[in-house]
Amino acid sequence: MTFTPTKLEGCFILDPTIINDGRGYFMESFNENKFEAGTGRRVHFVQDNQSFSTKGVLRGLHYQTGEHAQAKLVRVLQGEVLDVAVDIRPGSETYGQHVAVLLSGENQRQLFVPRGFAHGFLVLSETAVFFYKCDNFYNKGSEGGIIYNDPMIGIDWGMKKEDLIISEKDTVLPTLENSRAAW
């Protein structure tokens, strides 16, 4: 597995070693020792989540605050998404900046999103199965979000606004400037 740091400190792209043969393929999707060696971070994942979505579904940008903040290791099992992480750590040199990575069932790429980041994704294929590991349990009282089209962040989702399918909850999220992110 290769670990590629992004422009956002602590955020890594992971590309697994895939062994193909006549039967299909095999890959190691997570190994705690290799993860720590590749990222310099010791993370203990405690919760796995999975979602199914159709083309145009945009989920995010979400985060958890305080003692319930979460790091995530995200991947796509089937389909293709544009996955986005936004640095919302006050005082960070890359505060308000984002990385966007194409994740698919074909490329098997993963993105590690550390605590202090907002996260979201847009489904580009007809359907997608999205899977992620979290290092902390979900806590409703600690959830927060940032509107997907915040001009300060400037994410190019690559799809027309009228083609996006967004939950009502996600359409009324504040901008980063007005969010309650407190790290």
The C-alpha atoms of residue 142 and residue 135 are separated, in whole angstroms, by 15
Task: Tell me, yes or no, if 132 is annotated catalytic.
Answer: yes
Q: How far apart are the first and last CA of the chain?
A: 31
Task: Tell me, yes or no, if 98 is annotated catalytic.
Answer: no
> By C-alpha distance, which of 111, 21, 30 is closest to 72?
111
Catalytic residue among 63, 132, 138, 148: 132
- Retrieve residue 50's tokens: 């999975």
Residue type present at position 67: E
The C-alpha atoms of residue 76 and residue 79 are separated, in whole angstroms, by 7
Catalytic residue among 25, 62, 98, 119: 62
Residue type present at position 121: F
Instruction: Write out the catalytic residue numbers.
Output: 62, 132
